[in-house]
Amino acid sequence: MKIKYYGTAAAEGVPGMFCTCPTCQRAREAGGRNLRTRSQALVNDTLLIDFPPDTYWHVLQQGLPLPGITTLLVTHAHSDHLYPLDFEMRRAGFAHVEQNGRQHTEPLHIYASAATVRYIANADPINLTVDEAIDLHVVTPFTPFAVDGFNVTGLKADHDAKTEPLFYMIEKDGKALLYANDTGYFPEETWEYLASTKPRLDFVSLDCTGIVENYRQHHMGVQANYDTRERLQALRCTHESTQFCHHHFSHNGRLVYDEQVPLAEKNGFLVSYDGMEAVF
């Protein structure tokens, strides 16, 4: 299984688009991996997670193969994960998509919680389901479903409750990915599900918005990431080769990529960056 991170920042990006704080200044000066766009990832080149306003930039700058993608998982309706107005660009006239030798637009199948699906359906000013550009599917937490050759489970996150936020476990061919943002330390309901199902996780991507700040509710910092790893290990949801990765960063965490890496290496974590690929 493979994950590619196209964007790795929280809402404001790194540097924050309007920000002059010292962290953002260092990110601007250092460039490279210290620059982060809003979070988006692709699994096995086909399964897309989240649709931030930087999606088009990911197409231009990193070759995100958007025309061929027909499945999208959305974590929640915050602007760094969901920019629904761009779904209109998939409609006939805006997109000429050739599939199987004929011009036809298979809908983009979008999976999200009931509240997030309602948010997409109400997105003004367009009726997004016109021309079958998209098709909306409600994900029931803790209920696995099959899509595009994957087995996907939505797990409850500790985040803005009105969006009914989810994060996802994605399984295929005996491999399992846990992609967990935006969330604080997992809610007990999610821990109970993991304890009862005992998945064998190969790659665990964890919200690290606060980095060295001690975030634990709604988002996490490194200490909450360490505690999450420890509990997953205690539940035997991991094995000796399971990889853990800090992901989804804010300038409010005060460290830029170059400063995060030594801390993460010392503690057995990877640090996501825009364009990073991991195979497991």
List binders of Zn ion among 208-267 (CB under 5 A): 251
Among residues 1, 3, 9, 24, which is the contact residue for Zn ion, using CB under 5 A?
A: 24
CB 222 to Zn ion: min, Å: 17
Nearer to Zn ion, 209 or 238 (CB): 209
What is the pattern of x (binds Zn ion, CB under 5 A) and - over residues 79-118? -x--------------------------------------
Interacting span for Zn ion (CB under 5 A) from 8-16, 62-70, 146-154, 234-242:
8-16
> Which residues, 6 or more positions from 18, have their beta carbon under 8 angstroms from its beta carbon?
12
Nearer to Zn ion, 128 or 253 (CB): 253
d(CA 9, CA 35): 9
CB 30 to Zn ion: min, Å: 14
> Which residues, 6 or more positions from 63, have their beta carbon under 8 angstroms from its beta carbon?
none
For residues 175-185, b (16+ Cβ closer than 10 Å) or e, as one string?
Answer: bbbbbbbbbbb
Torsion of CA 27, 28, 32, 37, to 10 degrees: 80
Interacting span for Zn ion (CB under 5 A) from 19-27, 150-158, 197-205, 231-239:
19-27
> Which residues, 6 or more positions from 180, have their beta carbon under 8 angstroms from its beta carbon?
155, 157, 167, 186, 204, 205, 206, 207, 228
Read off the amino acid at residue 221. G
Q: Does 207 bind Zn ion (CB under 5 A)?
A: no
Interacting span for Zn ion (CB under 5 A) from 45-53, 75-83, 100-108, 256-264:
75-83
Residues that bind Zn ion (CB under 5 A): 10, 16, 19, 21, 24, 78, 80, 182, 251
